[in-house]
Amino acid sequence: MGEIESGVKKQHRFTDFLYWNMFVALPIMTACTAIFKESPVWMVVYIIICIFLVAVIYRFYCTHCPHYVQGAKTTKCMFFWGMPKFFDSRPGPLSLFEKTMSFAAPVIIALIPLYWLILQPGLLAVYILSVAVLVATMRRNECSRCIYFHCPVNRVSEDIKVREQFHGGANVP
């Protein structure tokens, strides 16, 4: 699985990419369904906004991640597989601006469809539950094994971080 004894995940497999993108697809498709029922034009606008904001995340967050820094010309991570590396890698911690952009973008993606979802309570329930399960599953299964030790939401224990860094470890400085 690309992991070592400590449980730190040093590389993703294509199946990880498929798994996580299917997880993300559920709230996005729920949002698009709710928006489309009211206005197909607004659904297209929402999709364009999502693409733009994902590009913001890719630029300000992903370029710091060791999965991005690794040698290949394309990414091989849980969300981007085969995506060209458009930006220079910038190993190390995120600046305050980069943290702000990286947290604001998914929040905006999640909040935009609420107007249309409120009009359809059944879809709103599916949306809220799917976002909650996505976040909880990511925190439980990825953040606790993530090799990007500078990530503000990294949950790898300090003893594993020290051991990894001492042994030529997982994180790129």
SS3 83: strand
pLDDT at 2 over 60: no
CB 128 within 8 A of CB 39: no
More confident residue, 117 or 69: 117
Burial group, residue 75, by CB count within 10 angstroms (0-12, 13-18, 19+) = buried
pLDDT grade for 1, boundaries at 50, 70 and 90: very low
Spatial separation of the C-alpha atoms in residues 73 and 139, rounded to whole Å: 28
pLDDT grade for 115, boundaries at 50, 70 and 90: very high
pLDDT value, residue 172:
45
pLDDT value, residue 69:
84
Cα R_g (the chain), whole angstroms: 17
Spatial separation of the C-alpha atoms in residues 173 and 165, rounded to whole Å: 9
For the chain, give every domain's residue range: 14-166
CB within 8 A of 108, min separation 6: which ones?
49, 53
> Which whole number is the average pLDDT over 7-35?
94
Express each pLDDT in 153-169 by its tens digit: 888 888 887 777 766 55
Per the prediction, the chain carries an average pLDDT of: 89
Q: Residue 32: how many CB atoms within 10 A of its CB?
A: 20
Chain centroid to Cα 38, Å, comes to 28
pLDDT grade for 27, boundaries at 50, 70 and 90: very high
pLDDT value, residue 13:
92
